[in-house]
């Protein structure tokens, strides 16, 4: 089965992002499942902030998403408009906003709702956290 995962919760404060990651890992372990993409929307875009700095003893969810993406070749998409509203700025947007440096982690890619819509069309299941 092909899945699209949607993450709507921020990195910290709720367990939804961690639950989405653990669910995604479990899907990958079963060879019959494939994740089309993970799409971060609403407060979920805050997972992509490269300046997140958890304490040494805290779970570093951004780092875990990076490792998951790299290891499993799963694209981590971030909603463009939700990101801008919450101050998540990619490299391309720094020129438009006259900002020296963006804060979007390099493993996360700015995307659109159109891309999410196409991924959903190609998926058997959509799971939202």
Q: Could you give the count of Cα atoms lying within 13 Å of 42 in the half-sphere of its Cβ?
A: 9
Residue 37: strand, helix, or coil: strand
Q: Is 95 a catalytic residue?
A: no
| Nearby residues of 26 by Cβ (< 8 Å), 6 or more positions away | none
Among 79, 82, 83, 104, the one annotated catalytic: 79
Active site (catalytic) residues? 79
């Amino acid at each position: 089965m092909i899945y699209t995962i949607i993450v709507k919760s921020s990195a910290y404060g709720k367990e939804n992002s961690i639950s989405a990651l653990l669910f995604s890992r479990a899907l990958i372990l079963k060879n019959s499942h494939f994740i089309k993409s993970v799409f971060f929307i609403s407060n979920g875009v805050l997972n992509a902030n490269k300046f997140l700095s958890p304490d040494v003893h805290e779970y570093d969810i951004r780092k875990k998403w990076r490792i998951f993406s790299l290891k499993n070749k799963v694209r981590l998409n971030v909603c463009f408009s939700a990101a801008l509203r919450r101050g998540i700025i990619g490299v391309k947007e720094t020129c438009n906003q006259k900002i020296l440096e963006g804060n979007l982690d390099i493993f996360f890619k700015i995307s659109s709702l159109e891309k999410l819509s196409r991924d959903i069309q190609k998926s058997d299941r959509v799971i939202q956290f």
